[in-house]
Amino acid sequence: MTERVLLEAKGLEIRFGGVVAAQDINIQIHEGHNLAIIGPNGAGKTTFLNICTGYLKPHKGKVFFDGKDVTRLQPRHLVRRGVARAFQIPQLFTEHSVLENLLIAGAAQSRRWSPFRPLHQIPERKAMLHLLDMVKCSHIADRPVSELPEGQRKLVDIAIALALKPKLLFMDEPTSGVASSEKFEVLDIIAEALTEAKVTSVFVEHDMGIVDRFADEVAVWNRGEVLFRGPPDDVLNHPDVIRDVIGEEV
Amino acid sequence: MQFNLRTVVPSLIVLAVAVLPLLAPTTQVLLTLALSKGLAVLGVIVLLQAGQVSFGHALFFGVSAYAAAFVGKGFGGGELFSMLAIGVVASLAISVVVGLFVVRYRHIFFGMLNLAVSMIFFSLLEKFYHVTGGSDGLSVARPLFLGIEMEREGFEMVLFYLVLVLALGAAWLTHRFLNSPIGNMMRTIKTNEVRLEYLGVSARNTLLVGYIVSAGLCGLGGALAAVAQGVVTPEYAWWIRSGEFVFIAILGGSGSVGGAFVGSLLYEAVRTYASAFAGDVWQMILGIVLLFVILFAPSGITGLFARLTGRKASPASEEAGQ
Ligand SMILES: Nc1ncnc2c1ncn2[C@@H]1O[C@H](COP(=O)(O)OP(=O)(O)O)[C@@H](O)[C@H]1O
Ligand SMILES: [Mg+2]
């Protein structure tokens, strides 16, 4: 594994009224790693993702991607530089089928849009079918996404993000809403797809079993701050983390 | 080719419209106007696919109609195709300017801003009497057709078939556009704009493309209507006219390009014949029809037809009617 810094946050701060959702956040994300973010509800995990992907502008601090200051960029500009995102609540095109959702993403990524070539005949179609296969959703390609159970919607949401060929993928609670019996299966699928696409990932997760199995590193969030960061074994067994974070999860 | 109702019925309708003026010459002007308006309704449908309702699209109908009238006046009779071209170009140009502003807004704000701009244009038409003829408008002399000067009857016949061909061509191209990647991206503005931005695509620019396409369609319809009626008045750009386009789109069905023309033909037929036979109750008849459409066939006549012939009406069309 390389140790190249892909994304770096420096001194991020953001408040919503009296709520401090980010307070002097400093963190580096290394290429090739899978970083898990854990922490209680309201700790500011989603806010961190929102800032890193351009959805929110921090009141203080900066975000660097590939060494360049990207703090003020819009999500679409960050996407085009290689930062993609999957959402806590899947964000899909509800009037399109699963395959069409991916075809739209594929077309968006390639930016070759003939206004008269049908969406279903774009050159990226094959790659999108392969992606659906990777996330084990080939059999539902023609289903409207609005009919799918949450677990499959999560997978489609992640597949859309992968269709953008990102260097860095943020996933907000990829297994929330997935039945606990299926969580490992879903994460196995995602992990395999990430490895195949060689994507660095940052994922927010509440299930410590999942964190232990899939993360190379863990960062602990609390009240808008990063409390700890380190290998899963160290962080998950740290008495403070067990008391303040994991305790609340159980 | 497969023989089924879904391809046969639309073909029969086109055929019926094409031969009707030969059998009943009095219907010709009505059909020409209905199809011209249908083009404008098609423009409104493009925006409905993005979940946006414009209550001011008569603006582009009017801009183009006046532009065509000016060309006609300026060149003593004018040439039909240059009038149409200038009309469409004028509405495209205005749509870029207005579009850059209105695509920043959504839903009621989008609808009302369009209305506001169209009302400004309407009042300018009324106010600048020396240029626009005020509320009397401008007469549009019968233009040349490819350099040929024609008798009224012959010209009207040619114009009708030209409108029919243009309507078919526009419907086909619009259909292709809506099914293309950019057309599908525009449709996602209705369902998930945030995700669209997270695909690296500017939702505003995408809507602007749709806005320009829709204005171009309205423009083509406006210039054709101006030539067909032989006169342009501020009423072309009136907000009631904009509302009529939306009404017809919902009536015909905003889920498919055919809805624009089915709705428009039906609307003009009811308006003309009901007002002839039933005096001033035609608006009540149309109101009741719209009520039934919204309650029982929210995807319009074409959506209802699609459902009856077994194709699942797309949710796009269902919702646009609500
Ligand atoms: N856009 C917003 N406006 C107001 N308050 C917000 C906003 N986003 C987040 N917050 C608040 O900031 C805190 C952190 O939220 P969030 O980042 O969603 O936490 P987490 O994802 O860790 O559960 C919460 O108290 C939340 O209510
Ligand atoms: Mg969250």
Closest approach of A122 to chain B, Cα-based (Å): 8
Residue A48 lies in a domain: yes
C-alpha A47 to ligand 1 mean position (Å): 6
pLDDT in tens, chain B (322 residues): 456 788 888 899 999 999 999 998 889 999 999 999 999 999 999 999 999 999 999 999 999 999 999 988 776 668 999 999 999 999 999 999 999 999 999 999 999 999 999 999 999 999 998 888 888 889 898 898 988 888 889 999 999 999 999 999 999 999 999 999 999 999 999 999 999 999 999 999 999 999 999 999 999 999 999 999 999 999 999 999 999 999 999 999 988 899 999 999 999 988 888 777 777 787 888 888 888 888 988 889 898 888 888 754 443 433 333 3
pLDDT given at position B317: 36
Q: Which burial class, exposed, middle or buried, applies to B196 when counting CB atoms under 10 A from its CB (0-12, 13-18, 19+)?
A: buried
Q: Which residues does chain A have within 8 Å of residue B199's beta carbon, measured at their own beta carbons?
A: 76, 79, 104-105, 108-109, 160, 164
- On whether residue A68 sits in a domain, the answer given is yes
Q: Domain B2-314 is of which CATH architecture?
A: Orthogonal Bundle (1.10)
Q: Domain containing A40 — which CATH number?
A: 3.40.50.300
Checking ipTM against 0.90, whether it exceeds it is yes
Residue A234 lies inside a defined structural domain of this protein: yes
State pLDDT tens for residues A138-152: 999 999 999 999 889
What the block records as the tokens of B8 is 């046969």
Distances, alpha carbon B166 to alpha carbons A111, B49, B170, B183, in Å: 30, 22, 6, 21
State whether residue A231 is helix, strand or coil.
coil
How many separate domains does chain A show?
1
Q: Would residue A102 count as lying in a domain? A: no
**Ligand 2 midpoint to CA A68 (Å):** 26
User: Facing residues of A204 across strands?
Assistant: A37, A172
Residue A30 lies in a domain: yes
Asked if the structure places residue A152 within a domain, the reply is no
CA of B217 to the centre of ligand 2 (A): 45
**Which atom of ligand 1 is the closest one to the Cα of A49?**
17
Tokens of B40: 């404008």
Domain-embedded: residue A120: no
Within-domain flag for A133: no
Residues of B with a Cβ under 8 Å from any A Cβ are 173, 176-177, 179-185, 187-188, 190-192, 194-202, 314-316, 319
Q: Quick one: which of A55, A159, A52 has its CA closest to A104? A: A159
* Structural domain harbouring A225: 5-93+164-246
Spell out the alpha helix ranges (H) of chain B.
Answer: 5-23, 27-49, 58-74, 80-102, 107-127, 129-132, 152-179, 181-191, 193-197, 203-229, 239-252, 258-269, 275-277, 282-296, 300-308, 315-320
